[in-house]
Every structure is written in structure tokens, then in C-alpha cells.
Structure 1
């Protein structure tokens, strides 16, 4: 039986991976191993490993690595702890293959440990571009350490091949986040309101804003400009989700807490909504605002508009329902007004929502994980495009 080890470091990432984890667990030819790390094990981020266990999965290893610091030094030290922890975990578990998603530093150190241990790596969401953050370099580094690649679009597949990966090991399978939209029964408005203890209004915003680690700009000033723009829409009810454990993420989180406390009759904040509540939120709000990748991938699939702020998502494939703007207060206000117009709402309903697949990504991945000859993966040849 082939043992597949899935590594997850946050509730959001786990939510994306859930369809694949479930298929691996239910497959008679595969044995699932789960490693939880990063924000999952942090009280500050809600000890979300408990959600994994509540879903009926066994966590085979917990790799403690996240220090209570979001400075570059603190994150670098967290990575060092993670590298040691993953070395021990993989030595004990001895999986046949590691599955990683995305571009976070937890995934990079897991890839480093697996690479040194000669364990093949399957990487989801490679080939993408986020030019304003360090994730860009991390993602491409993981690609070069990985042996199987599952990309979300054909242009991203071509970029992974451009990085020298063999075309026969690079699969365009779509974005796995769409699987949950297709498979989950989303909460209706009353059930959703009850789940977050908050009443929606006639106009509703969902806001997620992450720091730009490469911009050289002040995270506090960036967030204050966004909050000033939101204040222009005094009639809007606002749902915030907090940023990840990135550099300067705590500064943004503190500003959100202060803003929410002063406007708690129409503003609510959650550290993490989880997949069901987050996707349900998208279905009930009028616009998604911020710089999260979900605004580029999942939100258009649900025919909702996105106001994408700043450079964090520069380089990604984007649909017509996404309006880019800089992080000035005036430009954010203009962008929100644009997407709230009747003409733009009609455009969202008519726009092509299949740029990132059809919601059957996990099934395509599982076929490859079940059948690919692992003994041929470890010795990689650099492929030169002609």
C-alpha cells in the first residue's frame, strides 16, 4: 500500500486540501498520513488542528515550529525549528510521497526535509506568481524540490515546465479550492448569520488583507488607507478575516481589532472562518475586498466581484470580475463603487468562471498519486524548452 503524507500548516490550507485528504483516506490502494504544523498548533490562531481531528482524521505528527513573532528574524527561526521537526517526523513516518500546497514557509521547510530524505514531493499550485511577497520565491523553490506538479491553469503548467520540470510530471488539474464549492452544501443566510453571531445588512463586504513583504511600504499605513476607504461606505456591514502568520501580520490584525471594536454594530472579525463559513460568506456578501488569492480563484467561480488591492497578486491569471487598484484610499473607494454598479454585477453573472477548472481537481490528483511510478521520480532531469 502506497503511503501518502499530507502536510498542512493552516486552517485555510487544510480546507483547500480537505477533498484530496478525504479521497486518500477512502482509497483502498493508499494509506493516509497527516502532519500538522504552523498555525494549526498555535493558540493565537485558534489551535485549528482540532478541526482536523473533528473531521475524523488522525494526525500522525505535530511539528511545532511557530514562534510568537512575525519579524523576519522570528520567521527565520521558526523555519529552522520546522526543518528539525520535519526531519524527525519524516524519519519516523517514512512516507512514500509528500503532498504540499502553495507557497508558505512551512511548506518550504517540509520540502527541504523531504528532499534530503529522498522522499518524492507532489506540489499543488506551483507556477503561479505573487510579485509583491516573498511567497513568489518560496513557491518556485518548492517547485524545484518537487517531483510531481499539479497546477491550477495551463499557463501555470507552462511556467513550471519553463523552470526545467519534465512535462510528463506536470499536470494541469485546476484549483482544488473549487472542489469545496462544488461539493459542500453552503449555509443559507440565517444559518450563516448564526454561525458567526452577526447580522448581515443590505450591503455587505468580506475583507481579507495580508502584508506585502517585498513592497518596502509600511504595513500599518497600508491598512489604515484600506480602513479609511471602508469608512466611506457607512451603510456596509463588514466581515474581516485576519492575515496569516506573515511578517507584519500582527500589526494588521491589531488594526482590524481596533476598527471592529469601534464599529461592532456593523463590523465583525474572525481569525479564521474555515472553508464552509468562508465560502458561505462569499455567497452572501456583495463584494470581496483585499489581496487574498481566494479573490482571484474562488470568488469569480461564485460569480461575485473582487476588489484586488495592491501588488500581492500581480502575475496571476485573472477574470473579468476582478478589479485591480492601488492601495490609496481614493482608488479603493473608486474600485468598490465600480464593482457595486448594476452593470458590473451583470458582468459578474455572465463572466467565464472556469479559468481555474471545474471543481474536480482532487479526483484528477488521486489518479496520478495512485498510479505514477515513484521509483522514477527522484532522479530529475532539467528539461529545456525549445
Structure 2
């Protein structure tokens, strides 16, 4: 009996960090064959050629899909998407996987989904049903949901939303947030080990800044980033660790501003293209506040009890723990939110906080489902109608 071939696509350092334990589970199962397709930022020198990290972790990359153009304008991203569809068509034809695993909502993942849909390869989608109203990711995420056959969601409200979109309840499984597997399974570094690993000494007060483009805004990110930096200047005693932005529209503008800020504060600011999963999670544990608009501030930071100052609309609509403080992108509100996050009263209020995203072990549950799910010819879906076909008269 041949092994079931499960192909995992990854295009960014952050996404790979979430998929790591699922890939290990598949790799270690004698009845399964893991296939890996690396694409997007993994293959870009500008973003650190992070496909090497995948190989260093003991995985073989079966195919590389080059698709990123050297630009972050809407035209460049759209053209990259087209190149991705072409590349994934070749990759899937070569690999012939039984199931394609996709996570999230980036344009690289949309390219893979389109190619798989036409090739009639069933898609297993992770993190569907969520809303992020400030970015094009929301439309991409819901589009991938409709192209997918099975869905692994992070919370019960997201499960209900996927079903609301016409997906059959039996194929929509709430496994919790897969990123929390890293919190429970990785050996988080001590403060001293972290300082040695990144070559940067922490202070009495420490911030982590992770900021990405808000792609549905007509206004570029420059004003918002300058407001953020103005707020950071009001805490000169704090050490600041900044991770660079992703390859979305205007990401390079954000990174240029961060480069300038790091040059301004050479002994206070540590700027990284990619910290790596263990270092990043260790930073989450040891800093006093996470500041920015990354999903890690919404999902992983609460698992460490670390407060998050969540800026703007990028994560608007997502379930949030009590440790997340929302604020507008102006310096005064950011400063107020940081002071609140640092206050003893706020930190005490988080003592018995629970995450809305579960407590880990999602990877094992996903692997077991993929291993045993029936693979019938065509895997045709019917629309699951919540009102029994009576909607709309």
C-alpha cells in the first residue's frame, strides 16, 4: 500500500513557524509522505533566504516556486500572484500530492489554492473563518475557504462562520490555534540564553515591535509608522526589538523607516529580518509589551501573559484575549496604551486569563484527520444551506 502524500506549502518565516510541528508529525508517521513546497519570501535574499532554516530543521524541500518580483506595489503583487499560479501548476503536476495543506491568507497561498483547485487536489485549509477587516487577507482567506475541502479552524466562532459560508459541518474542525503548539512544545530560551542567541542585551524594560502593511488603506504606512516611532521615543529607557515587515504592498517602506530608526538608536534598538521561531517566542516571553499589528500579538503573546498594544485595523474582527489593548495609530494613544500595558493593575488583571484559541496540540489532531480522511474521486462539495434552501424566497 502506497503512502498518502501530504504536501505543505510555506511562503514566509512566520507561516513556517506555525506549520513546523504539523510537518514533523507528518514526517514521522510511517504511513504518510511529507512533501514541502517553499515559495515567496523564503526564496528572497531581501528577506533572509529563510528556506535554509527549513532545511536546517531536517526537512527536504521538494519544490521551490519562485514568484516574488522586486517590488511591493499592487501591480507587482498581482504579477507575482500570476507567476505563482504558473509555478504551482508545475509543482503539483510534478509532485501529485493526495492532499495540499495551506495556512492562512497570503497571496502566495491564494496562488497555490487556485492551481490545486484546477488540478482537483483536495485542499486542507488552516485558520479559515477569521476576519481581519483592514487587509486584503480577509478576502483571500474566505476565497481559499471556498476552494478548500476540509477546514481546521482556531475557535468555535470561526467554525460557525465557515459553516455559514456553505461548508459542511463534518469537514470544519475546531483544533485551536496551531501556533500554540510552539508555546507548549518548544524549549523557550531563558533571558540569558536569548541575549546570547541574538547578540543583544535586554534592559529593565523591553518592547517587541512587529508592524505589517494595512493593505486596504489608501494611505500608505509612513504616517502610522512615524507615529509609532514617536511614541517609542517617549520611553527612552526601554530596549526595543523590531522584526521587519513582510512582502506585502508597502512592506519595503516600513522596513526603510525601521532601518532609519535603528540607526538613530544603535544601542537601544535591535532590528531583525527574521528572529527564527524559538528566538521570537522567547522574545514574546521576556518583553514587557508587544506593540504592532501582527497576529502573534493576538494569538501567541497571551499564552505567555504578555500584554499587546494592537495598532489600527489590521487585526480588526479577530477574537482577542483580555491582554490585548486596541488603539488608533497616533502617538498619544499609543503612549497611553503602552502605559496601561505596563501598569501593575493591568498586569494583575491578567492573572487568570484564558486564551480564546485553545491550549495547543492542534498539529496532532490535524495530522490524524488528514491521515484517515476518505479520498473519494473528485471530492465534490455541495453547498451546506443553513436555511434548507428556503433563503431568499
Q: 1:28 aligns with which of 27, 30, 34?
A: 30
Q: 2:214 aligns with which of 212, 215, 218?
A: 212
Maintained 8 Å contact 1:147/1:377 = no
Q: Following superposition of structure 1 onto structure 2, how do residues 356-367 of structure 1 map, counting pairs within 5 Å?
A: 356-367=357-368
Maintained 8 Å contact 2:25/2:363 = yes
Structure 1 Cα separation of the partners of residues 363 and 377 of structure 2: 23
Structure 1 Cα separation of the partners of residues 144 and 304 of structure 2: 30
Match of 1:243 in 2: 245
Q: Which moved more, 1:344-353 or 1:333-342?
A: 344-353
Match of 1:371 in 2: 372
Match of 2:202 in 1: 200
Maintained 8 Å contact 2:120/2:378 = no
Maintained 8 Å contact 2:311/2:328 = yes
CA deviations over 1:334-368 (Å, ceiling 9, x no partner): 00000100011112232113x11111100110110
TM-score relative to the length of structure 2: 0.97
Match of 1:51 in 2: 53
CA deviations over 1:139-195 (Å, ceiling 9, x no partner): 000000000100000000000001110100000000010001100011111110111
Q: CA deviation at 1:313?
A: 0.5
SS state at 1:199 partner: coil
Structure 1 Cα separation of the partners of residues 191 and 259 of structure 2: 25
Structure 1 Cα separation of the partners of residues 20 and 372 of structure 2: 21
Maintained 8 Å contact 2:212/2:246 = yes
SS state at 2:337 partner: helix
Structure 2 gap segments, 5+ residues each: 388-393
CA deviations over 1:59-103 (Å, ceiling 9, x no partner): 000000011100000011111111100000100100000000000
Q: Which moved more, 1:96-105 or 1:208-217?
A: 208-217
Match of 1:298 in 2: 300
Maintained 8 Å contact 2:116/2:123 = yes
Runs of 4+ in 1 over 4 A off after TM superposition: none
Q: Following superposition of structure 1 onto structure 2, how do residues 1-386 of structure 1 map, counting pairs within 5 Å?
A: 1-353=3-355, 355-375=356-376, 378-386=379-387
CA deviations over 1:183-227 (Å, ceiling 9, x no partner): 001111111011111110000000001111112223111110110
Structure 1 Cα separation of the partners of residues 42 and 120 of structure 2: 26
Q: CA deviation at 1:29?
A: 1.2
Structure 2 Cα separation of the partners of residues 126 and 217 of structure 1: 28
Structure 2 Cα separation of the partners of residues 16 and 376 of structure 1: 31
Structure 2 Cα separation of the partners of residues 358 and 368 of structure 1: 19
Maintained 8 Å contact 1:300/1:348 = no
TM-score relative to the length of structure 1: 0.99
Structure 2 Cα separation of the partners of residues 15 and 183 of structure 1: 12
Q: CA deviation at 1:40?
A: 0.4
Structure 2 Cα separation of the partners of residues 377 and 32 of structure 1: 22
Structure 2 Cα separation of the partners of residues 154 and 337 of structure 1: 33
Structure 1 Cα separation of the partners of residues 107 and 220 of structure 2: 22
Q: CA deviation at 1:48?
A: 0.5
Structure 2 Cα separation of the partners of residues 285 and 348 of structure 1: 16
Structure 2 Cα separation of the partners of residues 153 and 385 of structure 1: 20
Aligned residues: 385
CA deviations over 1:81-127 (Å, ceiling 9, x no partner): 11100000100100000000000000000000000000000000000
Q: CA deviation at 1:377?
A: 6.7
Maintained 8 Å contact 2:205/2:239 = yes
Structure 2 Cα separation of the partners of residues 275 and 377 of structure 1: 37
